[in-house]
């Protein structure tokens, strides 16, 4: 499981010109799911997201976690995070989980992250053609792969 975390001052997601999610200060998280991902990957990533100290303290030092901040979250599924570009010029998505595997894991990720944070999160719509708007704050962008824990 792979995520791209972007600290934002604002973000939104629209589907068919209709806004389905919007936040001010917080995180926009893109989530890519592989076939072999499990609840263990979800638990590890959700704990990491909640406790990653990437919000500024009173001295401007990144020392505050999402859990300790007033920040909100938009979570967007994005299978292209598992693109392989090693061969040729057309990306291969063979490692990305198909919907029958990915959707239950995506839904479990949402529930686990909400429980870990103690607040609801907003989402895009799995598999939809979404327009994502964000103002990256910092900029702060972090990529985490649950297969690279050690």
Averaged pLDDT for residues 18-27: 97
User: 101 near 33, Cβ under 8 Å?
Assistant: yes
Selected catalytic residue, list 78, 112, 122, 123: 78
Q: Can you give the pLDDT at residue 125?
A: 95
Cα–Cα distance between 23 and 28 in angstroms, integer? 9
Q: Can you give the pLDDT at residue 51?
A: 97
Averaged pLDDT for residues 117-144: 96
Selected catalytic residue, list 24, 38, 39, 80: 80
Domain containing residue 83: 2-148
Per the structure, how many domains does the chain have? 1
More confident residue, 88 or 142: 142
Provide CB contacts within 8 A for 83, sequence distance 6+: 91, 92, 93, 96
| Confidence band, pLDDT 50/70/90 cuts, at residue 6 | very high
- For residue 9, what is the DSSP state? E
For the cut 90, the answer to whether the pLDDT of residue 42 exceeds it is yes
What CATH number corresponds to the domain at position 68?
Answer: 3.50.80.10
Averaged pLDDT for residues 46-54: 97
Averaged pLDDT for residues 116-124: 96
Q: Can you give the pLDDT at residue 136?
A: 97
For the cut 80, the answer to whether the pLDDT of residue 20 exceeds it is yes
Averaged pLDDT for residues 38-57: 97
Selected catalytic residue, list 79, 109, 112, 123: 79
| Confidence band, pLDDT 50/70/90 cuts, at residue 149 | confident
Task: Determine the length of the chain.
Answer: 150
Reply yes or no on whether 80 is catalytic.
yes
Helix (H) or strand (E) holding 119: none
């Amino acid at each position: 499981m792979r995520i791209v975390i972007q600290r934002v001052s604002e973000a939104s997601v629209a589907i068919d010109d209709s806004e389905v999610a919007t936040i001010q200060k917080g995180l926009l998280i893109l989530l890519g799911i592989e076939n072999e991902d499990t609840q263990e990957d979800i638990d590890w990533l959700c704990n990491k997201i909640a406790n990653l100290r990437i919000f500024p303290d009173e001295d401007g030092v990144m020392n505050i976690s999402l859990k300790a901040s007033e920040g909100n979250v938009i979570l967007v599924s994005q299978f292209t995070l598992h693109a392989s570009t090693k061969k040729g010029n057309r990306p291969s998505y063979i490692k990305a989980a198909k919907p029958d595997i990915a959707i239950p894991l995506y839904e479990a990720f949402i529930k686990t992250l909400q429980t870990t944070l103690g607040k609801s999160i907003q989402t895009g719509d799995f598999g939809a053609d979404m327009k994502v708007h964000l103002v990256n704050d910092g900029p702060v962008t972090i990529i985490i792969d649950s297969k690279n824990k050690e």
